[in-house]
Structure 1
């Protein structure tokens, strides 16, 4: 009986695991409804007092996303005040829900990649992961990869879906 050969390891296939771009990321949400009178009305003096009394150190080293889950009308300066308070602690401050911040963070991290390293390569965007990577992140990664790859696939090495193959010249 012959030696077992791992054909996946021997292939020219490069795997990009998008989930790895989210490693170590902690996102915390701040819902401004908790800073409003009856969760609906922003009273400037009370709003400022609540911001001043909040323990901002709870956001130390995290990514903070700020939104209001009620239909209250929040003036733009209120969000600016949150940034002013959080800046010392949070790694970054985003507007929106946690899901929206995750999308933004992924895109920021994908913008830092030198995609030229995949020039002429067969690339697999890994499909299965512990984290539910949003579809628009896959779309964004695809846009980044298309100018470089010879072939792009989605899924796992043992069962993948072909997405793109560069036409022969």
Structure 2
């Protein structure tokens, strides 16, 4: 067979595989931690008067347009009003305020963007959730996307088209 007669066949293109890159739903705003531990007396107790004073003196403009992750890394029990006060001060500046660690805030931002996806458009399709991205995709985002896709897809895979891990196959009723 001559070189001219050889045709390189793109089997991936012919497979009908749809690749979803979760990076498309990445929120690029910076996540800034706000740890209430720094406002506790002896890392145990939140004193209301001192806390209110510290919040009033805090530079809230530094959070302009950013996502503020409000949490407490100490084992102290924090009353809900403390989080409400932080939100009251930060809401004029922060682009978004999330209860949780910066890591949980990363998922929350993905979830918020993925809520608007019409998952039914993947009905009966072979879907690959892309494994490599330019940004860190939290495992919780893959979990969320999987939950949303399972009712619709014929097959769900993870990785790259050339090397993937099968996750779900509808004809088998599961993994």
**TM-score, reference length from structure 1:** 0.87
Deviation for aligned residue 1:142: 1.1
1:113 aligns with 2:117: yes
Aligned residues between the structures: 168
Deviation for aligned residue 1:59: 1.2
Structure with larger Rg: 2
The question of whether the paired residues in 1 share the 8 Å contact of 2:27 and 2:109 is answered with: no
Could you tell me how far apart the structure 2 residues matched to 1:150 and 1:25 are?
A: 35
Structure 2 gaps, min length 5 = none
Deviation for aligned residue 1:67: 1.2
Q: Which residue of 2 aligns with 1:142?
A: 146
1:54 aligns with 2:78: no
Deviates more, 1:119-128 or 1:1-10: 1-10
**TM-score, reference length from structure 2:** 0.84
| 1:32-111 equivalence runs, <5 A | 32-111=36-115
Could you tell me how far apart the structure 1 residues matched to 2:15 and 2:59 are?
A: 52
Deviation digits for residues 123-161 of structure 1, max 9, x if unmatched?
101112244433332222111111222221111000112
Structure 1 stretches of at least 4 aligned residues deviating more than 4 Å after TM superposition: none
Deviation for aligned residue 1:3: 4.7
